[in-house]
Amino acid sequence: MKRNILDQNRSQPETLMPKDPYTIKASERGAVRVFTTELEPEGDAAITPQNVYKLLGDGVTLVSSKVEVFPSKVLAGLGLTNYLAEGYGIPPEDMAGKAAALDALKGLVILVPSSAFGGNEQVLEPSPALRFIGMFHEPKNAPPKQMAESEASKGLTSPQSRADTRSQNQVRYSWLIAIGALIIAAALVLFAVF
């Protein structure tokens, strides 16, 4: 069944489709695998992020908090392509050729990002009840943009907060007042003795 599912999904350009989307490497980052179900609504209700690993094959472990399982009708106004673009940062060109199919999905949608595999190398053997739709990638990290100059970068302020500066000034003034009071007290004692 695994090879049939792969053959069904060859419409995506070869450069965007990995050779085997079912093999997860420990170093994999920034990919999202999209599945849907062929189950009846009663069967759909039994699939949760906590137990979806059972449908992905024996020995598969997932971080359930990273997996999303929801009915496709939840995204009726937004569409799955927009959800993947806005929620996962998947560029539209990575979904080229699949956008219409993604937005037309019916039934339960299962999104399994790379982070759900916890950095563990694994091989998926999806249940026949799951249909693999595609694997999509976030863009490679661009170098960070240069930050705008601020007062701190110009050296106009110190790294300390203003509250710290105020409290240091208050401590300084308290010491000056205490020393001044001691000098006055010493002077009064000297004048009283003589």
What pLDDT shows up at residue 160? 55
Provide CB contacts within 8 A for 52, sequence distance 6+.
62, 64, 67, 69, 110, 112
* Domain assignments of the chain as residue spans, ordered by start: 2-137, 161-193
What pLDDT shows up at residue 170? 78
144 pLDDT above the threshold of 60: no
Beta carbons within 10 angstroms of residue 129's beta carbon: 14
Write the pLDDT tens digit of every residue in 96-134.
Answer: 889 999 999 988 999 999 999 999 999 999 999 899 999
SS3 116: helix
The structure tokens listed for 119 are 């950095």
How far apart CA 76 and CA 112 sit, in angstroms, is 20
Alpha carbon distances (Å) from 86 to 79, 89, 121: 11, 6, 27
What pLDDT shows up at residue 102? 93
What pLDDT shows up at residue 76? 86
How far apart CA 111 and CA 67 sit, in angstroms, is 6
What pLDDT shows up at residue 4? 40
Confidence bin at 9 (pLDDT 50/70/90): very low
184 pLDDT above the threshold of 80: yes
What pLDDT shows up at residue 42? 66
What pLDDT shows up at residue 168? 73
